[in-house]
Amino acid sequence: MKREVITLDRSDRVVGDRPIHLHRNSDPVATVKEWACNSPYCEDLTGPHPDDGGAEPIVQGREPWRGGR
């Protein structure tokens, strides 16, 4: 049985052990074109990475509406 190894970069937004999804920015000038993330609140997976001016994914347990930062 083959196990897929996922290496995480500094540009990834993975916190905890929730299932990971990939964001892809098709903009050719983007610094980060693909990154892993496991925020449960992402809806648009084609927008820019935070390094490219996109919104920072919301971390589960630190939702702004719960008063966390």
Q: Does 25 bind Zn ion (CB under 5 A)?
A: no
Residue 32 binds Zn ion, judged by CB under 5 A: no
Q: Given the complex with Zn ion, which of 49 and 57 has the nearer CB atom?
A: 57
Check binding of 39 to Zn ion (CB under 5 A). yes
What is the C-alpha separation between 3 and 13, in angstroms, rounded?
21
Task: Please give the structure tokens belonging to residue 64.
Answer: 């702004």
Q: Which of 35, 29, 31 is nearest to 57 (CA)?
A: 35
Strands 21-24 and 34-37: antiparallel
Contact between 59 and Zn ion per CB under 5 A? no
Residue closer to Zn ion by CB (options 15, 42) is 42
Residues that bind Zn ion (CB under 5 A): 37, 39, 42, 57
